[in-house]
Amino acid sequence: MRRGRTAATSVTAVSGHVCCVRLPPTASASLTNKRVCRARVEEPAERLGRQAATQLHEALVAVRRI
């Protein structure tokens, strides 16, 4: 996992699969922090993945109609 210098967590989601979840540097301070941050990050990341998949599907359906 690559550590970024930003305070925010960055998530990249492509077609329903989360490709990259980067935790802030402070998250690696201890195992407890890592567990807490993972718990906070996983759910939104999954939601983002589903949103991306839904949008991709809707776009493909719209293109087929044209």
Going by pLDDT thresholds of 50, 70 and 90, the confidence category of residue 65 is: confident
53 inside domain: yes
β strands within the chain, DSSP E:
10-14, 17-22
Query: pTM value?
Result: 0.30
5-30 pLDDT, tens per residue? 444 444 444 444 444 445 555 544 54
Q: How confident is the model at residue 31 (pLDDT cuts 50, 70, 90)?
A: very low
Domain that holds residue 40: 10-65
Biggest alpha carbon–alpha carbon distance for the chain: 53
What total of structural domains would you count in the chain? 1
Query: Could you tell me if residue 5 is inside a domain?
Result: no
